[in-house]
Structures are given as structure tokens and as C-alpha cells.
Amino acid sequence: MIKTYKTSHGNLSTIVNMNGKNVRIRFVSRDNNTGYYTTPNVALQTAIESDRDYDGCSTSITRPNLLRNPT
């Protein structure tokens, strides 16, 4: 399943730990306010959602709080 994550920090680059490796992900923003990152990679989705700053109850991603967009 493809999942899209959202941040309120515009163009954001952050690191998540995927299977013991640090992986950089980059949120892209058109308006420099809201950034999006989309991935079909289940292992990467698990890494994002396992991040200590992830909050799956909301619809945006921020750093320090990572949140998933349900779309």
C-alpha cells in the first residue's frame, strides 16, 4: 500500500532507522509550509511509524513529532 506523510515544516529532510540503518527521507513542499513524502516501501513505512516522534493519531508530520496522513 502506498502511504503519504505530511509535515507542517515545508521542505524537510529527516532520518529514520530502517532495519538498523539510518535512512534519510525528504518531504517536498510547493508552498514552503506543507511538505509531503510518499512511499510504497512497507519497511520504510514501518520505520517512519516506529519513530519515537511519530504520532499516528494525527494527519500531519512534524519534526519533532512524526504524524501520518491517512490518505
Nearest of 41, 18, 15 to residue 26 by alpha carbon: 15
Task: Give the integer Cα–Cα distance in Å for 45 and 1.
Answer: 10
Q: Which amino acid is at 9?
A: H
- pLDDT at position 34 is 87
State the CB neighbour count (10 A cutoff) for residue 20.
5
Task: Give the integer Cα–Cα distance in Å for 58 and 22.
Answer: 24
pTM over 0.85: no
Low-confidence spans in the chain with pLDDT less than 70:
55-71
Counting the structural domains of the chain, the total is 1
- pLDDT at position 10 is 87
Q: Which domain holds residue 46?
A: 3-69
16 to 7, 20, 30, 31: CA distances (angstroms): 15, 10, 23, 24
